[in-house]
Structures are given as structure tokens and as C-alpha cells.
């Protein structure tokens, strides 16, 4: 009787998490007692060695996943495949030009200080003779817009482009900002666009209601071309900063990994990278309501809400908003940050892989323009004498 097995994986999962209620524990024990095979399965799934072998086998299967996905996409969406071939390239910026633009003239504004838990800041000015590592340029304005029919458009700040979607909405890309017109929708069905920003990229977006969104590297946003329901709902991954246009009748809702941020008009930042431990929502202006599977809270300006993987919601009343929002004005700001937290941002903005040879115990305070090359960024941190970096292509090793 398969029904009898329903959800026992969930009970065993809860058992591993030590979250079984007494009633659930009784149900699980009854299931184990009901058959020797049930009990064998339970033992196998809670024993380290056998669980490890099973996880390895699942992991091997993950390796054949992409070829099956490609096969299925081809069979199920043949029209999308042919559109893909026709995909349109708006423009491609030459890296050589970027190399010339990104230079070392910004150093006057750079300071860095190290601290032993006190806010003692010592400015350091770098000499200008050093050659930047041209392989590791910082990010720039770039993104890919995916239209409802699957066509992709590569966006950057050098090209002007205008298109009209089949619902009549006008889309303009100019000066590194993608914006949507306010014209009323002609078709019944909502049309959704997806804007994806790769590593080494960032992009600005103005939605049809006038809401401004800034997307950080390795982030994406999924939104309708026109908001005409009772609410304005969008999805994001990664990190985005919002300046929401006021419209009391239509709440603006950002949905991210099961967490919802609901606002009426406000400025706030959502950081939800898959490789960060928590989703963080930082509020600059107004107020927002954060809802997770386990509850909700209203946060006020200056506060930061964080949501852990298990849905636990915490409010930090003394959040460092300057640091959380620094990227939106073109800076990295670190205050009392450990090297791992710093390198998380580095790997996204410079598209590098980070390895650690030594543990760096010190904490750093720094304000660095996002326009410097990776080599210069590392030179600034190295000036503390606490940390060194070995650069081999895209592989960065952190040493004492």
C-alpha cells in the first residue's frame, strides 16, 4: 500500500533535523515496527557510510542531468530552439576598450584601514606606476534580456535600442538603463521578461510603473512588461536595489526564494545570493513587510532583516546600511569584514575563483571603487600586511 509510505521521507528528514514532534516520532516508530524492511531502510538512511554512498550515487546522476535537459528542451520547445538561432545581438563591447577606460586614476579616492576591533582608519595611497592586470578587469554594465518568445538581447551601455512587445509596451535600452513605457496593455495575457546580469556585470532597469531597480552581478529579475493586477509582483535572484514608485493601491512585492518583501513605496536592497548563508533585506527609506514560511515582520529605515535557510527571520536594528548599499553607488565598503565575506563579492564582480591557503583572522575596513582592476583591489588589501594574493589566471589564492 503505497499510501502508507506517504511522507515518510519527510519524517526521516525531520528526524535528522531533530525536529520531530512526539506525534510524528510515534508515527515514524510505528512505521519502522510495521516491517523489517522499513526498519532496514531507516537504518540505511541514518547511517553515515551508507548515506554517504547513496549521496555519491545521486551526485553522479547530477553529472548526466544537463544532457537530458538539453534533449528534453529540444523535444518540448522546438520553436524556442529555432528562435534561439535567430537571437539578436544588440552590441558587444570590446574588452580592449574597457581596458583602456579602466585605469589607475581613481586611486586618490581609495583609503583602507585595518582595525583591531576599533575604528582606527589609516589612509593608504597607492603609487601609480603599477600595471593593472588586464585579465581581471572589473565588471561593467552588461546584461541579457530574454523576451517572452525566448529571444535574447545582449544589452550594454553603448547601444540605443527600442522595441515594441506584442502587448504594445515599449522597451528602450539607452545609456545602460533598460526602461519600460507606461502605455496600456493591448493583449489579455501578461507578458514577462527576464533580465539576467552575469558575473562582472550590473544593470539598471526602470519598470513600467516607474520603479527603479539596480541589479548586481550574477543576479536576475523576472517581471511583467505592464503591472495591471491588484499588486506589482516580481521575482529576483542574487542582489537588487529598489526604489519603488509610490502606488498605495498596488503593493509592490518582491518574491525571492520563498521570502516575500511587500512595500508601498520605499528604497531597499535585497541580497539573496545562493552561496550566501542568509537572505538580507536592508531598508533605506519607507517601510517594508518581510514574510517567510515561518512568519513576518515589518522593518523600519536603518534596519536589516535576515532570513536563514530554515526560514528563521531576524531583525538587526543597527545594520550597516552604507556597506549594504555601497554597490549601488559604485563602491565596495567593508567594515569589520572577514576575508571570506570580502572574497564573496570579489568572485562575483571580477569573475574569479577563490581558494584559501591560510586562514586570515584579521578583519578589514575599506572603501574601494568598483572600477579598479582585481590586481589593484588585491594590492590595496595587501597593504595591510595581513593578507597576500597569488593570481594565476582566474584562480586567486589567499595567503598570509
Partner 1 sequence: MHILNEHTIRFNEVFDQYFSPLCYFAERIIKSREDAKDIVVESFQKYWLRKEDFGAPAQVKSFLYLVTRNACFDFLKKMKMTNSKSTDFPDLFNSDMEETAARLEVEAELLRKIYKVATQLPPKCKDIFQLTYFEGLNTAQVAERLNTTTTNVTSQKSRALKILRIALAADKKSIPLLILLAMDF
Residue 77 contacts partner 1 per CB under 8 A: yes
CA angle 281, 218, 323 (to 5 degrees): 40
Site for partner 1 in 300-329 (CB under 8 A): 308-310, 312
Stretch that binds partner 1, among 112-120, 149-157, 176-184, 315-323 (CB under 8 A): 149-157
Residue 386 contacts partner 1 per CB under 8 A: no
- Comparing CB distances to partner 1, the nearer of 119 and 275 is 275
Site for partner 1 in 48-67 (CB under 8 A): 48, 51-59, 61-62, 64-65
x/- contact string, 195-214, with partner 1 (CB under 8 A)? Answer: -x------------------
Q: How far apart are CA 213 and CA 221, in angstroms?
A: 9
Residue 174 contacts partner 1 per CB under 8 A: no
Q: How far apart are CA 370 and CA 384, in angstroms?
A: 19
Residue 361 contacts partner 1 per CB under 8 A: no
Q: How far is the CB of 13 from partner 1 (least distance, A)?
A: 5
Site for partner 1 in 224-263 (CB under 8 A): none
Residue 73 contacts partner 1 per CB under 8 A: yes
Q: How far is the CB of 135 from partner 1 (least distance, A)?
A: 20
Q: How far apart are CA 112 and CA 123, in angstroms?
A: 5
Residue 38 contacts partner 1 per CB under 8 A: yes
Stretch that binds partner 1, among 114-122, 131-139, 245-253, 348-356 (CB under 8 A): 348-356
Residue 72 contacts partner 1 per CB under 8 A: yes
Stretch that binds partner 1, among 16-24, 120-128, 157-165, 201-209 (CB under 8 A): 16-24
Residue 222 contacts partner 1 per CB under 8 A: yes
Site for partner 1 in 274-293 (CB under 8 A): 274-277
- Comparing CB distances to partner 1, the nearer of 80 and 174 is 80
Q: Which of 22, 36, 75, 94 is the binder for partner 1 (CB under 8 A)?
A: 75
Residue 150 contacts partner 1 per CB under 8 A: yes
Using CA atoms, how far residue 9 sits from 15, 57, 68, 271, 321, in Å, is 10, 18, 26, 32, 42
Q: Which of 294, 314, 340, 382 is the binder for partner 1 (CB under 8 A)?
A: 340
- Comparing CB distances to partner 1, the nearer of 115 and 163 is 163
Residue 22 contacts partner 1 per CB under 8 A: no
Stretch that binds partner 1, among 140-148, 159-167, 209-217, 363-371 (CB under 8 A): 140-148
Residue 80 contacts partner 1 per CB under 8 A: yes
Residue 357 contacts partner 1 per CB under 8 A: yes
Residue 9 contacts partner 1 per CB under 8 A: yes
Residue 120 contacts partner 1 per CB under 8 A: no
Q: Which of 32, 83, 255, 386 is the binder for partner 1 (CB under 8 A)?
A: 83
Using CA atoms, how far residue 341 sits from 168, 195, 347, in Å, is 44, 26, 10
Amino acid at each position: 500500500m503505497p499510501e502508507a509510505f506517504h511522507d515518510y521521507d519527510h519524517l526521516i528528514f525531520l528526524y535528522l533535523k531533530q525536529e520531530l514532534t512526539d506525534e510524528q516520532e510515534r508515527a515514524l516508530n510505528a512505521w519502522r515496527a510495521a516491517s523489517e524492511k522499513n526498519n532496514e531502510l531507516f537504518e540505511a538512511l541514518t547511517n553515515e557510510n551508507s548515506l554517504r554512498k547513496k549521496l555519491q550515487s545521486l551526485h553522479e546522476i547530477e553529472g548526466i542531468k544537463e544532457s537530458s535537459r538539453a534533449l528534453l528542451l529540444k523535444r518540448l520547445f522546438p520553436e524556442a530552439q529555432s528562435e534561439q538561432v535567430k537571437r539578436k545581438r544588440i552590441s558587444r563591447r570590446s574588452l580592449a576598450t574597457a581596458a583602456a577606460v579602466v585605469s589607475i586614476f581613481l586611486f586618490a579616492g581609495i583609503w583602507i584601514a585595518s582595525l583591531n576591533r576599533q575604528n582606527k582608519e589609516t589612509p593608504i595611497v597607492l603609487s601609480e606606476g603599477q600595471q593593472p592586470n588586464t585579465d581581471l578587469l572589473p565588471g561593467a554594465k552588461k546584461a541579457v534580456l530574454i523576451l517572452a518568445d525566448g529571444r535574447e538581447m545582449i544589452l550594454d551601455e553603448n547601444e540605443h535600442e527600442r522595441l515594441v512587445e506584442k502587448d504594445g509596451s515599449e522597451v528602450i535600452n539607452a545609456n545602460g538603463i533598460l526602461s519600460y513605457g507606461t502605455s496600456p496593455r493591448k493583449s489579455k495575457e501578461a507578458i514577462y521578461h527576464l533580465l539576467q546580469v552575469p558575473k562582472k556585470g550590473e544593470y539598471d532597469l526602470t519598470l513600467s510603473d516607474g520603479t527603479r531597480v539596480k541589479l548586481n552581478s550574477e543576479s536576475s529579475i523576472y517581471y511583467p512588461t505592464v503591472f495591471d493586477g491588484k499588486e506589482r509582483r516580481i521575482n529576483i535572484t542574487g542582489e537588487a536595489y529598489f526604489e519603488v514608485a509610490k502606488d498605495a493601491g498596488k503593493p509592490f512585492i518582491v518574491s525571492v526564494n520563498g521570502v516575500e518583501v511587500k512595500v508601498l513605496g520605499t528604497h531597499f536592497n535585497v541580497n539573496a545570493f545562493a552561496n550566501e548563508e542568509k537572505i538580507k533585506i536592508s531598508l533605506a527609506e519607507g517601510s517594508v513587510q518581510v514574510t517567510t514560511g515561518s512568519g513576518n515582520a515589518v522593518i523600519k529605515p536603518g534596519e536589516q532583516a535576515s532570513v536563514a535557510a530554515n526560514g528563521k527571520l531576524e531583525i538587526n536594528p543597527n545594520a550597516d546600511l552604507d556597506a549594504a548599499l555601497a554597490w549601488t553607488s559604485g563602491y565596495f565598503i567593508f567594515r569589520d569584514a572577514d576575508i571570506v565575506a570580502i572574497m564573496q563579492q570579489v568572485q562575483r564582480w571580477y569573475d574569479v575563483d577563490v581558494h584559501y591557503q591560510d586562514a586570515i583572522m584579521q578583519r578589514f575596513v575599506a572603501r574601494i571603487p568598483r572600477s579598479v582592476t582585481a590586481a589593484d583591489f588585491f594590492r590595496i588589501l595587501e597593504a595591510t600586511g595581513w593578507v597576500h594574493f597569488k593570481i594565476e589566471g582566474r584562480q586567486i589564492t589567499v595567503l598570509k
